[in-house]
Structure 1
């Protein structure tokens, strides 16, 4: 039941009145709850005046052939009303003796006296809405129908350590994207395959992770071996160090994204919102203790030469997305040469994030 199919509530209620058997009770109440515009959700209102409809039960001795019995559109200031076949005080499954159901039906049908039915509906209205609310509160999708009160957001966020306001995802990461990846984020073992699947699903591009990338870690000046001055790291065979950096292959990896279209390549350049989101995903999944590079692989047919004019569709930032000479469509070189041309853009996103944070 979408807004396009039901552009207005009066027309919608007329459709329900014409074919009540075609509607499910829960689906109908959910749709009304999402569109009614009332501050309180169905089942939470303190007074019936704050609810968009009235619910009663049809007194009948037959077993329920459908969820809804009748529906009446709003008229003369009275809200819409619907009667159900299912649970309630009357009927073969109700708690009241059957002769009371027969009596209520007879008075309403043959004598125009619906006093007993109306009195019972005082309880039916509230109890049916409470029953619906108990069902709706246990459904993750129903909680998304209205902006406020998405309880499952809090549940899932707490499982992945994002339940507190101070733990809200940063860098423009949508909260629901983090919730969708909860299966990976809830694990204590953070393997490369998990990060690969997260980024591949979120970015929609091929992702590869190269582990054990060698790099040099600078040694603080106070910890370097010196022949005079500080006595730190001066023992031969126990701490002496030659040079100003040490080579490490355990704490760095490389993210390889692509092949990329030109638009996605430009969207992942340094200081772009998409690049910041990649940084936040790496931090959220792996922490901040890793060093890593981001390699953008531009598809061979997307490589273009330099074109003067900032408004040209082929224009790109110099040094980041521009190449001299003819490429892709006019270059007849081998695929190996083409690959070396299109995957040479490598940068460290964390450095740009630090510059942005200190700016």
Structure 2
């Protein structure tokens, strides 16, 4: 972090939330002098308690020359969790004398500010532990992400961006897989889906090889005929969309389709096949035109003629 940006932050701390301010400093390697934060930066900050008793309008205050004692480090004031100030826990007479800046209070205030900085910095560290998104680093390079990815056989075996796995990690790590978890995964990959419906026990017609009459064998039972219907190995996912552009992302070899396919197969395993069907209003689909500057080609997402108002189309997009 360059000194110019650091100075600009110190000149306008009121524009930031406390956690946002600390996260911005930490992400640019500013040393908050906390053992949990290892930084080699020479830029160091001191948090002090706002000593005045007026109603604070923000969580942070700029360090003005008349409000700062002879500190060696740059100072930013906080208006909460102070030993002195509006919510101070020290005796009232001591808080009042610190606010009036009476003679001899400089050393006591500086002494209390050492504890205040430690409390504020540790408060930020504790808050950050409960907000995983602030600990995440690109490509899941942070320690917590690496530990979480070990629950699904580590990072090396992943074929898509690890952040997508981390987003549905609680579902992937469940022992009992159900339709509710599958719905959450579909909603995570396709947040624009207005409705997701899972249909179980979809019958699939399989041909039964017969070398001679009566020799067709499947699932250790004799089969009469040339075909077998199996309803235990396939489910169907219906996704209702209100945007035609999302449909184009769900075709074969599209990035959203590949992410959905990877996460769904990771969730259901190899014992089930998953069909994807999109439900979309006919009014959202473009009409095929034989003339025009940009004619629409006939495909699954194009209509011919004028469909009825309110008509819903179901578009089969294959097996994931």
Give unpaired runs (5+ residues) of structure 2: none
**Which residue does 1:327 correspond to in 2?**
305
> What does 1:136-155 align with in structure 2 at a 5 Å threshold?
136-140=128-132, 142-143=134-135, 153=145
Q: 1:286 aligns with which of 241, 252, 268?
A: 268
Aligned mates of 2:201, 2:77 — CA distance in 1: 67
Aligned mates of 1:39, 1:11 — CA distance in 2: 16
Q: 1:346 aligns with which of 291, 303, 316?
A: 316
**Which residue does 1:211 correspond to in 2?**
200
Shift of the alpha carbon at 1:267?
2.2
> What does 1:250-269 align with in structure 2 at a 5 Å threshold?
250-258=232-240, 261-269=243-251
**Which residue does 1:304 correspond to in 2?**
287
Conservation of the 8 A alpha-carbon contact between 1:255 and 1:294: yes
> What does 1:50-89 align with in structure 2 at a 5 Å threshold?
50-56=42-48, 71-72=63-64, 79-82=73-76, 86=81
**Which residue does 2:126 correspond to in 1?**
134
Higher-Rg member (1/2)? 1
Shift of the alpha carbon at 1:34?
1.6
Q: Secondary structure at the match of 1:348?
A: strand
Does residue 246 (structure 1) correspond to residue 236 (structure 2)? The answer is: no
Residues 40-80 of structure 1: CA distance to partner in whole angstroms, max 9, x if unpaired?
A: 6642345796454113467x8x9998787883489xx9642
TM-score, with length taken from structure 1: 0.59
Give unpaired runs (5+ residues) of structure 1: 1-7, 17-21, 351-359
Conservation of the 8 A alpha-carbon contact between 2:207 and 2:228: yes
Does residue 315 (structure 1) correspond to residue 315 (structure 2)? The answer is: no
TM-score, with length taken from structure 2: 0.64
Conservation of the 8 A alpha-carbon contact between 1:70 and 1:84: no
Q: 2:176 aligns with which of 183, 189, 204?
A: 189
Residues 79-137 of structure 1: CA distance to partner in whole angstroms, max 9, x if unpaired?
A: 42145685569x9856xx999x79x969x7426x8456546655654564234323433
**Which residue does 1:110 correspond to in 2?**
103
> What does 1:91-102 align with in structure 2 at a 5 Å threshold?
93=89
Q: Alignment length, in residue pairs?
A: 299
Aligned mates of 2:31, 2:8 — CA distance in 1: 22
Aligned mates of 1:33, 1:52 — CA distance in 2: 14
Q: Which has the higher strand share?
A: 2
Conservation of the 8 A alpha-carbon contact between 2:149 and 2:155: no
Aligned mates of 1:56, 1:172 — CA distance in 2: 40
Conservation of the 8 A alpha-carbon contact between 1:154 and 1:163: no
Shift of the alpha carbon at 1:272?
1.6
**Which residue does 1:165 correspond to in 2?**
155
**Which residue does 1:39 correspond to in 2?**
29
Cα distance, 1:130–1:178 mapped onto 2, change above 3 Å = same
Q: Secondary structure at the match of 2:124?
A: helix
